[in-house]
Amino acid sequence: MDITTSYSIQSSSFEAINEAIDKLNLKIATPSLLLIYYSENYDINIFQAELEKSFPNTAILGCTSCQGFMTNEGYFSGTGLALWAINDYHGAYGTAIISNFETPYEMARQATLKAIHNSGRVGELPSLILLHATPGYEEQVIQGIEKELGCTVPIIGGSAADDFIAEKWQIFNVEQQTGQGIGIAVFYPTCEVSLSFHSGYASTGLSAIATKVEHREVIELDNKPAADVYQQWMKIPFDTNSNIISESSLNPLGRFAGEYFDLPYFKLAHPAHITQRKGIEMFAEVKQGERLYFMNGTDERLISRASRVVKASNGNKLNPIGGITIFCAGCMLKIKNRMDDVAIGVNIAMLNKPYVSPFTFGEQGQFISGENAHGNLMISAAIFHKG
């Protein structure tokens, strides 16, 4: 069993994909599964044709990443693509994309069943689900997956991203491509897999009840306009109908997710937009009646947390083969000038084994409690170990 990565920063779609394929072929036998993370401006038709020609029997899943990516070879900003490949002769892998007029819940069910069918392991639970959906309904997607598999199969994932939140995100496999749908890969590996899902933010102690909510808009906190409460906590004013993604990236709202050694941990929702009625549109769903905690992060914590999450995934195991880390695009943009330091830290934590890290618009993972969840400004990791 082997894992490796390759990349290209060529601007031409044809040259980029073929350079990355050529590099990959020097490192690994025919992959069982191939993941590709890439910039929004590439021609996916070319990617599909070249990948199918080079790897006709390989399960493939692609997803756009925001303004670059990381691999074990470093942090790459701007146009480019990264390939992550696993060769596992006795394992099984399958991918599927569903994009239709069904609900996200139903599409997730269909994608899960199709990916399992494509893996050849119908009737068996996978060891891991990799989820790449387009943004907007990730909580319903997780519910759809769990309808078919139960709650014990861990999910790692990241929502497809583009460079400037202009809905140019995309997912694809060799069968189709879409800007609105659900992509899933199922893993039946012949090795151990360990996971970690963390935020790296701390509660300030300030909190309020979400007393009025519509989908992803928190309209009222403690029966007051949500924007008024939030800007009081932030100590800065916000205009109505304004984008606050950058301003709020160190101060998301947290929902209590559990405790570990008596310490609380949270799943985060990133405030994105102040609405006309002084509500706050979020990048994650908030339930009416939930208590929301005003969270705080620092640049230094964001820089060091990726390596901490990988170390937590490794636990006492010191024999990683490779891994996948999902890194929030909002956090990357906040510390963009320090991302080289992040990459160095992850390499050290990974013992310089191959990994890939896309920058996503929402992260999915499994908490230590066993709950699969969607959050924002988080990092999720899956590390593959020798038995």
Pair type for strands 379-385 and 320-328: antiparallel
Give the predicted TM-score (pTM) of the model.
Answer: 0.96
The answer to whether 133 touches 326, Cβ cutoff 8 Å, is no
CB atoms inside a 10 Å sphere around CB 243: 14
Task: Report whether pLDDT(244) > 70.
Answer: yes
The answer for 222, left when phi > 0, alpha when psi is -120 to 50, beta otherwise, is left
Computed over every residue of the chain, the mean pLDDT equals 96
Query: Which residues does 241 contact at the CB level (< 8 Å), separation at least 6?
Result: 273, 274, 275, 276
CA atoms within 13 A on the CB side of 331: 36
**How high is the pLDDT of residue 227?**
98
**How high is the pLDDT of residue 101?**
87
DSSP character at residue 276: T
Task: Report whether pLDDT(183) > 90.
Answer: yes
Instruction: Give the pLDDT mean for 108-119.
Output: 98
The answer to whether 358 touches 351, Cβ cutoff 8 Å, is no
The answer to whether 21 touches 47, Cβ cutoff 8 Å, is no
CA distance to 95, 144, 215, 288, 316, per residue, from 140 (Å): 19, 6, 11, 16, 34
**How high is the pLDDT of residue 387?**
67
Share of the chain above pLDDT 70, in %: 98
Burial of 259 (0-12, 13-18, 19+ CB in 10 A): exposed
Task: Report whether pLDDT(315) > 80.
Answer: no
**How high is the pLDDT of residue 327?**
97
Query: Which residues does 261 contact at the CB level (< 8 Å), separation at least 6?
Result: none
Instruction: Give the pLDDT mean for 44-58.
Output: 98
Instruction: Give the pLDDT mean for 209-237.
Output: 97
Q: Per-domain residue ranges for the chain?
A: 2-198+301-385, 202-296
* pLDDT band (50, 70, 90) for residue 9: very high
Instruction: Give the model confidence (pLDDT) of 11-38 as tens digits.
Output: 999 999 999 999 999 999 999 999 999 9
Structure tokens at 311: 């170390």
**How high is the pLDDT of residue 313?**
78
Task: Report whether pLDDT(339) > 90.
Answer: yes
Task: Report whether pLDDT(373) > 90.
Answer: yes
Instruction: Give the model confidence (pLDDT) of 257-314 as tens digits.
Output: 888 777 889 999 999 999 999 999 999 999 999 999 999 999 999 999 899 888 887 7
**How high is the pLDDT of residue 317?**
63
Task: Report whether pLDDT(382) > 80.
Answer: yes
DSSP letter for each residue of 306-317: HHHHHHHHHTT-
Task: Report whether pLDDT(180) > 80.
Answer: yes
Task: Return the bridge partners of 355, or none.
Answer: 323
Alpha-carbon distance of 10 to 18, in angstroms, equals 10
Residue 30, Cα to own-chain centre: how many angstroms?
Answer: 26
* pLDDT band (50, 70, 90) for residue 140: very high
Alpha-carbon distance of 135 to 140, in angstroms, equals 11
Instruction: Give the pLDDT mean for 65-71.
Output: 98
Task: Report whether pLDDT(54) > 70.
Answer: yes
Burial of 339 (0-12, 13-18, 19+ CB in 10 A): buried
Q: 86 in helix, strand or coil?
A: strand
Instruction: Give the model confidence (pLDDT) of 187-217 as tens digits.
Output: 999 999 999 999 889 999 999 999 999 999 9
**How high is the pLDDT of residue 46?**
98
